[in-house]
Chain A
Amino acid sequence: MEPEAKYTLVGAAVLTLLALIVAAAVWLKGSGGEGDDRPYKIYFARQSLEGLQIRSDVKMQGIKVGSVTAFRISARRPGSVEVVIRVDGSAPIRQSTRAAVERQLLTGIASIRLANIDENSPPLTEVPQDEPYPLIAEGESEYKLTESVSQVALRADETMQRINLALSDENQVALSEILVNLRQISGGMSRSMAGLDKTLAALGHAADEVRGMSAVIRDDAHKLAQRYDALGEESTTAVREVSAAVRQISVDVAQLSGRMDALISDGNVELRVTAQELRSTADALGAAARRLGDPGRALFGPAKGSMGPGEASR
């Protein structure tokens, strides 16, 4: 049987389609490619890059201005990580620009935040010798609360060990009650910190109150750490003095814990509502997924052997 297809028409259609595909590819390459982007390099030595990925966002004042294009452990600066980013040409990258790693505490996804210390400083264009791109300096991460408290806890533990070694058995008995109380309060602080992480994640970075309170807590933690150090140095003094110092530490920790509790309860309404909505949604999704998880069951019903007592076999 002679086919009815017209070869000319088919050929023309195929060629037209190919031309369209090539045009689309060129257009996409032009719009999504490097264009006016400018590369910069950052050496991170003090901040963890956990959660950072190729194509992670680079943000400035909350707006995405670029993305991460490469990173690797630095051979030039041991202990550092080299991160190459491409930033939109219109973004005001200046000599005073500092880079910090921002991390969604809930998801762990990281991005790089650029901030200008001085908006009047000259644009960053100079490429250092032996470097392919201009260097943006590393800044300070705003979210070191957990680390601070971990350090405090570590120092507290060390201090307690030193006290135990230095003091006699009788003195240890006299102190044990106070130390137990201190540990309990410190435990409360750790739990509060876990809640604080969630609250910060839920509220986002725009909450100025959270930032302000975070700074206060940081200061308290620092003060607390200093006091622990002092206690460690004075571990040979009389029990009475040590007890007084430990009590003062307890007060500090309790104050710190109370502040964090207040912070969490202040911002908790949004978190609670969000958590409840998430839970309901997750439940509904889970139920739907269970029903659809087994296509065989959806089509043919439950297997004969899986029927419960009194359930009719299909």
Chain B
Amino acid sequence: MKPFVPAVLVSGLLLAVGGCASLGPQEAQRYYVLEAPNVMQKAAATPRAATLLVAPATVSGFYETQDIVYSRAPGMRAYYQLHTWTERPGRRLSELLVMRLERAGSFSTVATVVSGVKGQLVLGTHLAEFYHDAAAAPGSVRVTVTAELTDPVRRVLLARRSFERSAPAATYDAPGAVQAFNVAVTALLDEIAAWVEVAAPR
């Protein structure tokens, strides 16, 4: 009976090691940072004395994920399997928006709502669309954001506008889409910053 014991141990060890190993090919998962490259823009001549608070962006359910979304047919969406964002686009968009508005210099302070800073204006955003339209190669990306500027003291809506941007993908794949997303988001943030500059009361 004794030789049976080592055989069991060796088998168990092999099973354990085998269980840890993936049976599929080892293609690496790739992660991408959503970026909005710095564009030199002239700061506002006379910044407002007001503090602008940026609320975390709300996001349509399907896009509230790190997965990159594509669409092969109108009305259909799917996720890239091997390429993902490092952060959810909604959260990243809020960060980039704060940075963009700070650079614009239209307000004495730009902070997030959760920072605890007291502000006179609140900018809320909703990410409605954020996908790679891959119906035809190489396709293009579409980004739609609705922005609302509110006065939290008087609790009134000052302005609301929907922004839509599209940018062609360089290649028919996720890396090409990511580059296009960066371009579209940069243009969209510039557009929002310009709108806030006009819509915010002095």
A residues near B, CB below 8 A?
A: 4, 184, 187-188, 265, 268-269, 272, 275-276, 283, 287, 290, 298-302, 306-312, 314
Contacts and interface: CB of A to CB of B under 8 A. Distances in A.
Contacts of B27: 301, 312, 314
B25 A308 contact: no
A6 to B, nearest CB: 13
A299 B171 CA distance: 30
A283 B134 contact: no
A194 to B, nearest CB: 14
B155 A188 contact: yes
A299 B23 contact: yes
Chain B binding surface, main DSSP class: loop
Interface stretch (B43-51, B76-84, B183-191, B193-201): B76-84
B155 A187 contact: yes
A124 B134 CA distance: 76
A299 B22 CA distance: 5
B95 interface: no
Q: Which 8 A-B pairs have the closest CB atoms?
A: A310-B173, A301-B24, A308-B80, A302-B81, A309-B134, A300-B24, A309-B172, A311-B82
A126 to B, nearest CB: 54
A4 B1 CA distance: 9
Given A308-B174, A309-B139, A310-B172, 12 more contacts: A184-B156, A265-B116, A269-B116, A275-B114, A300-B24, A306-B79, A308-B78, A308-B81, A309-B173, A310-B173, A314-B24, A314-B25
Chain A binding surface, main DSSP class: helix
Contacts of A4: 1
Nearest to B91: A283
A287 B66 contact: yes
A288 to B, nearest CB: 11
A280 to B, nearest CB: 10
A308 B70 contact: yes
Interface of B: 1, 22-25, 27, 65-66, 68, 70, 72, 78-83, 88, 114, 116, 118, 132, 134, 137, 139, 155-156, 171-177
Nearest to A275: B114
Contact of B174 (A187, A265, A309, A314): A309
Contacts, number: 71
A299 B25 CA distance: 10
A287 B65 CA distance: 8
Contacts of B68: 308
Contacts of A307: 81-82
B142 to A, nearest CB: 15
A307 B116 CA distance: 43
A265 B23 CA distance: 53
B31 to A, nearest CB: 11
Given A187-B155, A272-B114, A276-B114, A308 B83 contact: yes
Contact of A299 (B1, B24, B175): B24
Contacts of A301: 22, 24-25, 27
Nearest to B176: A310
Contacts of B172: 309-310
Contact of A309 (B22, B23, B70): B70
A112 B65 CA distance: 41
A187 B24 CA distance: 56
B178 to A, nearest CB: 11
Contacts of B139: 309
Nearest to A187: B155
Nearest to A185: B155
Nearest to A184: B155
Contacts of B81: 302, 306-308, 311
A4 B70 CA distance: 66
A67 to B, nearest CB: 38
Nearest to B19: A299
24 contacts: A4-B1, A184-B155, A265-B116, A265-B118, A276-B114, A299-B22, A299-B23, A300-B24, A302-B81, A302-B82, A306-B78, A306-B81, A307-B81, A308-B79, A308-B81, A308-B83, A308-B173, A308-B174, A309-B137, A309-B173, A310-B171, A310-B175, A311-B174, A314-B24
Contacts of B23: 299-300
B119 to A, nearest CB: 12
Contact of A310 (B22, B66, B155, B174): B174
A265 B155 CA distance: 17
B116 A268 contact: yes
Nearest to B66: A287
A188 to B, nearest CB: 5
A243 B79 CA distance: 59
Contact of A311 (B1, B88, B173): B173
A184 B174 CA distance: 47
